[in-house]
Amino acid sequence: MSPLRLPAPAKLNLFLHITGQRADGYHLLQTVFQLIDHMDWLSFEVDDDLKLISDLPFPTSQNLIIRAAKRLQEVTGCKEGAIITLEKILPMGGGLGGGSSDAATTLLALNHLWQTKLSLDELAAIGLTLGADVPVFIRGQNAWAEGVGEILQAIPLDPSHFVVLIPDCSVSTAEIFTHPNLPRATPKINMRDYLVPHSRHGLTTSGILHNDCAGIVRTLYSEVDQALCFLESIQQKNPDLTSTPQLTGTGACVFMMTPTRSIADKILEQAPFNGFVCSGIGQSPVHSALNLL
């Protein structure tokens, strides 16, 4: 049989509010996950051993892909293995959820290939043990998220296009979330208000929708600050660009929504940074390939 080749799509956080902190140190948040058509690719072949083939610069045993596969073996008692080949396209430490998406695609693919027959709920529970962003990729839909990111509600999002810049740095999520100056008490907003276009526009133009990590990241990583300054300058010169430039996750990637892909292309051509242009997608192509939705 030929290898099963599947994508691992990236996400953008359209905003990220930190609303509190639990006694165990985990942060409570509100965010919207937007899936995009920019992705890693993974190929899977059933084998006796478990092996990852990639160009990643650290031991594969530490990679979320292998950890996800081993966790599925542990939970189900499956004795099968797999040769997994990763084509890494998404930047590491970019806030695009690449590692989490790779882990989710691995769980979905091996659940199919190994015939372990776990439900999406069961796979999402495994994913949460690997990282807070994994469940949204398991479920494969744009989502409103609360809790530590694991309380998900699928939401409809308008068709969208983005220019994404990749500053030449990798942001440490742990460094940002442990920083003493990180805001941790942003008031909660109502999902119903976000879903009403008029209310959402008001939340955006008033600055209520933002990324609580952005201030710290801009202070610690000058490359991120420079990328955001570039997008902000573009927006100021073009009144048709009404979307505020944002940091996704804890960064380092930054983005701006644009009315069309062609406008995003023109912005990227001017940018003194690497980057890409993408569009939002309504559901993960992994789920379509495996007929899960």
| 265 residue type, one letter | D
Q: Say how far apart CA 74 and CA 126 lie, in whole Å.
A: 10
- DSSP structure class, residue 280: B
Q: Say how far apart CA 175 and CA 164 lie, in whole Å.
A: 23
Contact 31, 59 (CB under 8 A): no
Q: Is 97 annotated as a binding residue?
A: yes
Q: Say how far apart CA 101 and CA 285 lie, in whole Å.
A: 12
Q: For residue 193, count other CB atoms closer than 10 A to its CB.
A: 13
Spatial CA neighbour of 95 closest among 278, 275, 249, 277:
249
Burial of 278 (0-12, 13-18, 19+ CB in 10 A): buried
The question of whether 11 is a catalytic residue gets the answer: yes
Token code pair at residue 105? 């695609």
CA triplet 119, 9, 98: central angle to 5 degrees?
Answer: 95
Considering the candidates 55, 133, 237, 240, report the single residue annotated as catalytic: 133
Catalytic residue positions, numbered? 11, 133
